[in-house]
Amino acid sequence: MTTSPPPPSGTPAWRVLFRMLAAFLALFAFAFWAAAGWNKGWTKNQIAIPQTDEITGIEFITYQDHFAPGLELLSAAFFFSIALFGITFLRRKNKS
Amino acid sequence: MKLPALLASLALAASVTAAPTSFDFKDPKGVNAVQFHLDSLLEPIAGTAGGVTGTVSFDPEAPAATTGKIVVAASSLKVPNSTMTEHLLGDGWIDAAGHPEITFELVKLDNVKTAGTTTTADATGKFTLKGVTKDVSLPVKLTYLPNALEKRTKPGNKGDLLVVRGEFTILRADYGIKPGQNEDKVANEIKLTLAIVGSAPKA
């Protein structure tokens, strides 16, 4: 009596894992960007806080440490996610 | 001569011979700054330069005779993104190491109008950035605050304050800052806004 090998599954496990990772990365990046202030400009390490000098009326700026990821970081994360997702569709060339 | 008449004569003589007061713009409270704004790809970039020093000689009785020079430490330029600040101070942009000072030297005031303690005028001066000096003109507003130093610092610190406000626009290409490069990402036009206070302590 011989045992036959298991039938090949539809999608290899590593492809499924990479697709899940890509989806997780995209969702995490979007959630982090939105939670950090929905900053539609450049990434900032500090935020400018306008203040006014009482005697002179001069408006001046002080800075406070605050990380706000910008659209360029979100774009980079999406680009990486799409690349990761795209890798899962690559097929090895058959050597003839 | 009677005493009141003598005092009046002395006061008149003092006012005629009164010298302009020198105001020091190194502000102990750190309020002085030049703000700069320029358009860029995602959003306008706004930053400040807080290292302001210099002196302005101002006489409230003769504001047209005002002279002075304001110096900004190039290394004090700052934007809310530290990487962007590093690029800004680097050789390609401001070159803060090679050209540590940005200066404005007042040459003359035209169209001087004074109302109360506020004087408005059109200032002409020499603006130097990255080793390049050009003539610039800008509307300025000078606010003289007599005996206000004490309120701003500490009791017993007698003296006057002079607030200078102005705004002008330069083209970075005129000062050798990446002329013709990256203008689709960072605008050529830079708006500079000045709001600074100088103090003149009285002995």
Q: Which B residues in the span 173-202 are in contact with A, Cβ-Cβ below 8 Å?
A: 195-197
Q: Is the pLDDT of residue A29 over 60?
A: yes
Is A41 near chain B, with CB under 8 Å?
A: yes
Q: What are phi and psi of B86, to 5 degrees?
A: -60, -45
Q: What is the pLDDT of residue B67?
A: 95
Q: Do B43 and A41 touch (CB under 8 A)?
A: yes
User: Is B145 in contact with A53 (Cβ distance < 8 A)?
Assistant: no
- Residue B163's nearest CA partner among A50, A55, A62 is A55
Interface test with B, best of A43, A45, A49, A55 (most B CBs within 10 A): A55
Residue A19 has pLDDT above 80, yes or no: yes
In angstroms, the separation between the Cα of residue A60 and the nearest Cα of chain B is 6
Buried b (16+ CB within 10 A) or exposed e, A47-65: bbeeeebebbebebbebee
Chain B contact probe: residue of A42, A49, A59, A73 with most B CBs at under 10 A: A42
Tokens of B108: 């003359």
CB neighbour class for A39 (10 Å; exposed up to 12, middle 13-18, buried from 19): buried
A13-35 and A71-87 helices cross at what angle (nearest 10)? 170
Residue in A45, A60, A61 closest to B81 by CB: A45
- Looking at the domain covering B19-201, what would its CATH class be? mainly beta
Q: What is the pLDDT of residue B4?
A: 57
The answer to whether residues A43 and A73 touch, using CB atoms and an 8 Å cutoff, is yes
Q: Partners of B97 in the beta sheet?
A: none
Q: With CA atoms as reference, report the closest residue to B28 among B152, B145, B194.
A: B152
Q: Which residue of chain A has the CA closest to B166? A: A58
The answer on pLDDT for A81 being more than 90 is yes
Of A18, A12, A41, give the one whose Cα is nearest residue B45.
A41
Q: Within an 8 Å CB–CB cutoff, is residue B82 touching chain A?
A: yes
pLDDT at B12: 46
Q: Is A42 helix (H, G, I), strand (E, B) or coil?
A: coil
Residues in CB range of B140: below 8 A, 6 or more apart? B109, B120, B121, B122, B123, B164, B165, B166
What ipTM was assigned to the predicted interfaces of this complex? 0.79
Instruction: Spell out the domain ranges in chain B.
Output: 19-201
Q: Give B177's Cβ-side CA count (13 Å radius).
A: 25
Q: State the pTM of this model.
A: 0.82
Q: What is the 3-state secondary structure (H, E, C) of B9-23?
A: HHHHHHHHCCCCEEE
Q: What is the mean pLDDT of each run of 10 residues along chain B (203 residues)?
A: 52 56 92 94 92 96 95 96 94 94 96 95 97 96 94 89 97 94 90 96 85
Phi, psi of B187 (to 5 degrees): -65, 155
Which residues of chain A have a CB within 8 Å of the CB of B48? 48, 60-61
